């Protein structure tokens, strides 16, 4: 233990004297804090815009006043998904997917029955959010600054001298790993804590913030183990640098895009244009008579003895349409779920990609969360339509109705989407790579022993 602590202290002292430790901390902190501030500002602006839009939509709806039931039936509004504060940590697929649902009581336009096309879950660009930026920048800068942490000692003869002086190879490898991990963890501390503070002040659960931080810290440990292992196995520092940069490029840039292409091939989505054409034809040919009888009986059981024919028609058409469209849209939902599963499994090949998938889920902006939003929004839309239909059924004569009577239904539907439980991806990939990192450290010990022989 004393040898391990001695190596750790010596490596940190070398980093301090060479200014590389402070350079790493300064660069990562500057980039990370800047990203946190910019993402928080973007979230605040977009959140305010979405809140204003929702209030405007509800205000226009309530401003209809008393109006003919059929006019009101074809007036609609958007239920806008609130942008979660977790986007400060990781935007996930937020920028590539829909985030609003159209709510119309007598909706017969099949083209509006979906929230989005849902084709862009895996088309990712440059990283957004503090998490992905730190996952890209911190390992890259650590590689550039400390790729020779073992190889330079090996080339100069310091490694052989340390072992011949009685320092255990295990203490040397683990001490260098500990020093590198401390440097990386200290570098990400300021931006990570700031990002969590900003996100939790915006509504992110503190447990999600801690889960995000733990995954980020675990990734730093994994990266440190890889750097030490490659450096220990390299005879020259330049060889270690080239190999580590290649590994970083594959893990961060190349493999996620390969995984996206593989996912599109093995789990293709049905053509939404074909699905919508089939939906329009199906709606056009529906027979609502049986549905009207069933709805009228349900209303009578609820105590509405004389439901208005128009209200029964509205509720029956919506119910029959929804029931008929479920088999058509099910392949889209199933396809998106298969794509998410494939991306999860393929991400296991890269520690940084696996961590990114997990951070997406913690911030509730993953593709699984988007699928859940669409499913919940569809359920909320149909529930609100049926509730509105019951209100219309109570209107004497069926000639008029006040939208204020249905405002609570709209608010309840909006809340159902807003309060949806987060569905974070499991940390299996991060845990798997922590185990692999332990194996890499064992190999590093063997490399140090061989180099000193």
State the Cα–Cα distance between residues 116 and 101, nearest whole angstrom.
Answer: 8
**Proportion of the chain above pLDDT 90, given as a percent:** 20
Q: In this predicted structure, what is the pLDDT of residue 41?
A: 92
pLDDT at 63 over 50: yes
pLDDT at 395 over 60: no
Buried b (16+ CB within 10 A) or exposed e, 213-230: bebbbbbbbbbbbbbbbb
**Proportion of the chain above pLDDT 70, given as a percent:** 64
Query: Is the model more confident about 183 or about 78?
Result: 183
Instruction: Yes or no: say if 353 and 255 are a contact pair by the CB < 8 Å rule.
Output: yes
Most confident of 10-24, 58-72, 329-343: 10-24
State the Cα–Cα distance between residues 331 and 232, nearest whole angstrom.
Answer: 50
Instruction: Quickly state the pLDDT bin for 122 (edges 50, 70, 90).
Output: very low
pLDDT at 161 over 70: yes
Most confident of 65-69, 187-191, 230-234, 294-298: 187-191
CA 2 → CA 11, 101, 135, distances in Å?
Answer: 14, 62, 32
State the Cα–Cα distance between residues 105 and 432, nearest whole angstrom.
Answer: 49
Report the candidate in 441, 392, 367 with the shortest Cα–Cα distance to residue 97: 367
Query: Mean of the per-residue pLDDT values for the chain?
Result: 76
**Max CA pair span of the chain:** 99
Q: What does the pLDDT average to over 416-433?
A: 60
Query: Is the model more confident about 39 or about 451?
Result: 39
Q: In this predicted structure, what is the pLDDT of residue 102?
A: 67
pLDDT at 131 over 80: yes
Q: In this predicted structure, what is the pLDDT of residue 424?
A: 44
Instruction: Quickly state the pLDDT bin for 188 (edges 50, 70, 90).
Output: very high
Whether the CA torsion 275, 281, 284, 290 is positive or negative: it is negative
pLDDT at 359 over 50: yes
Most confident of 82-96, 101-115, 171-185, 391-405: 171-185
Instruction: Quickly state the pLDDT bin for 112 (edges 50, 70, 90).
Output: very low
Q: In this predicted structure, what is the pLDDT of residue 227?
A: 93
Instruction: Quickly state the pLDDT bin for 40 (edges 50, 70, 90).
Output: very high
HEC letters along the chain: CHHHHHHHHHHHHHHHHCCHHHHHHHHHHHHHHHHHHHHHHHHHHHHHHHHHHHHHHHHHHHCCCCEEHHHHHCCEEEEECCCCHHHHCCCCCHHHCCCEEEEECCCCCHHHCCCCCCCCCCCCCCCCCHHHHHHHHHHHHHHHHHCCCCHHHHHHCHHHHHHHCCCCHHHHHHHHHHHHHHHHHHHHHHHHHHHHHHHHHCCCCHHHHHHHHHHHHHHHHHHHHHHHHHHHHCCCHHHHHHHHHHHHHHHHHHHHHHHHHHHHHHCCCCCHHHHHHHHHHHHHCCCCHHHHHHHHHHHHHCCCCCCCHHHHHHHHHHHHHHHHHHHHHHHHHHHHHHHHHHHHHHHCCCHHHHHHHHHHHHCCCCHHHHHHHHHHHHHHHHHHHHHHHHHHHHCHHHCEECHHHHHHHHHHHHHHHHCCCCCCCCCHHHHHHHHHHHHHHHHHHHHHHHHHC
400-401 and 67-68 beta bridge pairing = antiparallel
What would the two tokens of residue 87 be? 């986007």
Q: In this predicted structure, what is the pLDDT of residue 296?
A: 76
Q: What does the pLDDT average to over 349-364?
A: 79
Q: What does the pLDDT average to over 436-442?
A: 89
Q: In this predicted structure, what is the pLDDT of residue 107?
A: 56
pLDDT at 56 over 70: yes
Q: In this predicted structure, what is the pLDDT of residue 178?
A: 93
Q: In this predicted structure, what is the pLDDT of residue 249?
A: 93
Q: What does the pLDDT average to over 179-204?
A: 93
Q: What do you get for the CA distance between the two ends of the chain, in Å?
A: 23
Instruction: Quickly state the pLDDT bin for 163 (edges 50, 70, 90).
Output: confident
Instruction: Yes or no: say if 31 and 187 are a contact pair by the CB < 8 Å rule.
Output: no
Instruction: Yes or no: say if 141 and 115 are a contact pair by the CB < 8 Å rule.
Output: no
Provide long-range contacts, Cβ within 8 A and 24+ apart, for 204-210.
204/84, 204/85, 204/86, 204/88, 204/89, 204/363, 205/422, 208/86, 208/362, 208/363, 208/364, 208/422, 208/424, 209/89
Q: In this predicted structure, what is the pLDDT of residue 363?
A: 65
pLDDT at 168 over 80: yes
State the Cα–Cα distance between residues 93 and 128, nearest whole angstrom.
Answer: 10
Report the candidate in 175, 101, 125 with the shortest Cα–Cα distance to residue 441: 175
Q: What does the pLDDT average to over 392-404?
A: 50
Query: Is the model more confident about 446 or about 372?
Result: 446
Q: In this predicted structure, what is the pLDDT of residue 247?
A: 93
Q: What does the pLDDT average to over 80-99?
A: 74
Query: Is the model more confident about 307 or about 416?
Result: 307
Query: Is the model more confident about 422 or about 386?
Result: 386
pLDDT at 411 over 60: no
Query: Is the model more confident about 58 or about 28?
Result: 28
Return the minimum-mean-pLDDT range out of 36-45, 46-55, 241-250, 381-390.
Answer: 381-390
Q: What does the pLDDT average to over 117-126?
A: 38
Instruction: Quickly state the pLDDT bin for 225 (edges 50, 70, 90).
Output: very high
Q: In this predicted structure, what is the pLDDT of residue 421?
A: 42
Q: What does the pLDDT average to over 200-207?
A: 86
Query: Is the model more confident about 270 or about 338?
Result: 338
Place of tokens 């440097």: 183
């Amino acid at each position: 233990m004393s040898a391990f602590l001695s190596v750790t202290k010596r490596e940190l002292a070398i980093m301090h004297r060479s200014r590389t430790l402070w350079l790493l901390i300064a660069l990562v902190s500057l980039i990370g804090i800047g990203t946190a501030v910019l993402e928080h500002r973007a979230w605040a602006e977009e959140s305010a815009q979405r809140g204003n839009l929702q209030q405007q939509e509800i205000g226009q709806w309530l401003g209809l006043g008393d109006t003919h039931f059929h006019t009101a039936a074809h007036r609609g509004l958007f239920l806008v998904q609130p942008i979660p504060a977790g986007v400060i940590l990781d935007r996930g697929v937020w920028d590539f997917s829909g985030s609003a649902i159209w709510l119309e009581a007598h909706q017969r336009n099949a083209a509006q029955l979906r929230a989005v096309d849902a084709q862009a879950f895996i088309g990712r660009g440059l990283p957004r959010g503090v998490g992905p930026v730190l996952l890209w920048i911190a390992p890259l800068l650590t590689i550039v600054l400390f790729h020779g942490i073992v190889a330079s000692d090996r080339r100069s003869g310091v490694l052989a001298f340390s072992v011949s002086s009685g320092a255990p190879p295990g203490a040397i490898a683990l001490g260098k790993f500990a020093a590198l991990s401390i440097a990386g963890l200290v570098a990400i501390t300021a931006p990570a804590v700031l990002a969590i503070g900003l996100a939790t002040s915006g509504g992110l659960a503190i447990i999600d913030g801690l889960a995000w931080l733990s995954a980020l810290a675990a990734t730093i440990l994994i990266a440190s183990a890889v750097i030490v292992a490659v450096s220990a196995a390299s005879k020259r520092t330049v060889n270690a640098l080239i190999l580590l940069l290649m590994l970083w490029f594959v893990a961060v840039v190349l493999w996620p895009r390969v995984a996206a292409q593989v996912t599109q091939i093995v789990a293709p989505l049905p053509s939404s244009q074909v699905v919508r054409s089939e939906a329009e034809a199906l709606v056009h040919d529906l027979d609502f008579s049986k549905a009207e009888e069933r709805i009228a009986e349900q209303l009578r059981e609820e105590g509405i003895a004389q439901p208005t024919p128009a209200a029964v028609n509205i509720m029956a058409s919506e119910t029959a349409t929804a029931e008929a469209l479920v088999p058509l849209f099910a392949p889209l939902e199933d396809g998106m779920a298969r794509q998410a599963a494939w991306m999860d499994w393929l991400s296991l090949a890269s520690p940084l990609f696996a961590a990114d998938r997990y951070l997406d889920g913690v911030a509730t902006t993953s593709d699984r969360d988007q699928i859940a939003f669409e499913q919940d929004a569809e359920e909320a839309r149909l529930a609100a339509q049926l509730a509105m239909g019951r209100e219309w059924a109570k209107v004497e004569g069926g000639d008029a109705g006040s939208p204020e009577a249905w405002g609570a239904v709209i608010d309840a539907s909006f809340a159902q989407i807003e309060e949806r439980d987060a569905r974070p991806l499991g940390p299996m990939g991060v845990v798997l790579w922590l185990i692999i990192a332990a194996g890499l450290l064992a190999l590093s010990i063997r490399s140090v022993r061989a180099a000193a022989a």
